[in-house]
């Protein structure tokens, strides 16, 4: 699933919730840690929760024991009627309180910090895996995002325990203050194309990807929702010779992506047999006999080959997606 984040001090949050819903988004994260000196945010929180509920967006929220007082509600249980589906508990909740809340909400545990022993202790206390989410942190300050190997180890741990994992990517436009450097879980995603980061996270075993920054952008959201539903990787290309949806062979080649069902019995004369730089879309010509017509995409720079015609290029912004293509993956080649 793909989700957005909204924040109580963002005057455009209602509009962004509505736009996200229109793009097909059904999940959102927010924080309900509301300091007493900003009590005016209590009504704001309830307003935004109502907007999200009316849009069909389930909200997952950071909460503390002070949240009910700040919101003017009887207890955390009352958040359910406001559209909150899951909660990340601040420190200070007993095992008994957590178990009680788990009867009403998904409980989000910290996937970035909990050890195997700690999560097994929660399960032994009576929590069940279907009541839990493993939610990674986001890291506003540059250089503090998670290292890839550690992230993968933590993600694998929770997947082995059948607890769905959530993680963050930065937004495409406006970044959240006060640092304004994006809100990724992994440091590698801070300045990366958010769509590429999301595809990568799904491939790492993440079940739900959230855009941490307040402005996701409808273009990005539409691409993410479409990928979430189809798992077809869109590649923007420049070529007058090919477009459409193709499958990649299940046996992975080192240098190229080979598209199935592209060979031809018709002649393919040699033309434009130039160097195949990364992202080049090629077609084998008559010089390769029974391979004629086979379309490939170069994953690395390759030399010219008299038996291979270059018929187009994947745009540079999408090159990183080539390394994320899985065996049997479907690709949509979209001329721009």
Q: What is the model's pLDDT at position 41? A: 78
For domain 2-231, which architecture applies? Alpha-Beta Barrel (3.20)
pLDDT above 90 as % of the chain = 85
Q: Are 73 and 66 in contact (CB under 8 A)?
A: no
Q: What is the model's pLDDT at position 35? A: 62
Q: What is the model's pLDDT at position 37? A: 43
DSSP secondary structure letter of residue 184: -
pLDDT tens digits along 113-138: 999 999 999 899 999 999 999 999 99
CB atoms near residue 38 (< 10 Å):
12
d(C-alpha 87, C-alpha 21), whole Å: 21
Q: What is the model's pLDDT at position 177? A: 84
Q: What is the model's pLDDT at position 69? A: 87
Order across the sheet with 280-284: list the strands. 244-247, 330-335, 233-238, 308-314, 280-284, 295-298, 256-258
288-319 as b/e, with b when 16 or more CB fall inside 10 Å? beebbbbbbbbbeebeebebbbbbbbbeeebb
Whether 39 has a pLDDT exceeding 70, the answer reads no
Point out the least confidently predicted range of 64-73, 102-111, 148-157: 64-73
d(C-alpha 282, C-alpha 196), whole Å: 23
Better-predicted residue by pLDDT, 182 or 174: 182
Q: What is the model's pLDDT at position 40? A: 74
d(C-alpha 220, C-alpha 197), whole Å: 12
Q: What angle do CA 21, 22, 23 make, to 5 degrees?
A: 90
d(C-alpha 247, C-alpha 259), whole Å: 6
* Burial class for 15, CB neighbours closer than 10 Å (0-12, 13-18, 19+): exposed
Does the domain spanning 234-335 belong to CATH 2.40.100.10?
yes
For the chain, what are the domain ranges?
2-231, 234-335
Task: Examine domains 2-231 and 234-335 and report if their fold is the same.
Answer: no
């Amino acid at each position: 699933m793909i989700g957005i984040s909204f924040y109580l001090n963002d005057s455009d949050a209602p509009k962004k919730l509505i736009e996200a819903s229109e793009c097909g988004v059904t999940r959102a994260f927010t924080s309900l840690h509301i300091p007493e000196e900003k009590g005016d945010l209590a009504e704001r929180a309830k307003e935004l929760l109502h907007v999200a509920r009316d849009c069909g967006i389930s909200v997952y929220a950071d909460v503390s024991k002070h949240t009910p007082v700040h919101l003017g509600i009887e207890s955390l249980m009352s958040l359910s009627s406001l559209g909150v589906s899951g909660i990340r508990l601040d420190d200070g909740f007993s095992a008994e309180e957590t178990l009680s809340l788990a009867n009403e909400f998904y409980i989000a545990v910290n996937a970035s910090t909990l050890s195997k022993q700690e999560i097994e202790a929660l399960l032994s206390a009576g929590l069940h895996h279907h009541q839990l989410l493993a939610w990674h942190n986001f890291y506003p300050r540059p250089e503090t995002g998670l290292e890839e190997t550690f992230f993968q180890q933590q993600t694998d741990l929770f997947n082995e325990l059948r607890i769905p994992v959530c993680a963050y990517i930065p937004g495409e436009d406006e970044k959240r203050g006060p640092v304004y450097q994006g809100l990724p879980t992994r440091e590698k995603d801070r300045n990366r194309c958010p769509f590429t980061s999301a595809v990568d996270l799904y491939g790492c075993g993440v079940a739900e990807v959230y855009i941490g920054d307040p402005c996701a952008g409808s273009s990005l959201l539409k691409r993410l929702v479409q990928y979430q539903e189809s798992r077809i990787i869109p590649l923007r290309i420049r070529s007058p010779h090919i477009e459409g949806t193709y499958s990649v062979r299940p046996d992975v080649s080192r240098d190229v992506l080979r598209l199935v069902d592209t060979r031809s019995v018709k002649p393919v004369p040699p033309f434009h047999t130039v160097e195949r730089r990364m992202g080049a879309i090629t077609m084998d010509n008559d010089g390769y006999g029974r391979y004629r017509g086979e379309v490939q995409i170069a994953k690395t720079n390759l030399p010219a080959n008299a038996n291979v015609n270059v018929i187009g290029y994947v745009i540079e912004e999408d090159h990183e997606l080539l390394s994320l293509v899985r065996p049997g993956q479907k690709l949509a080649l979209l001329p721009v």
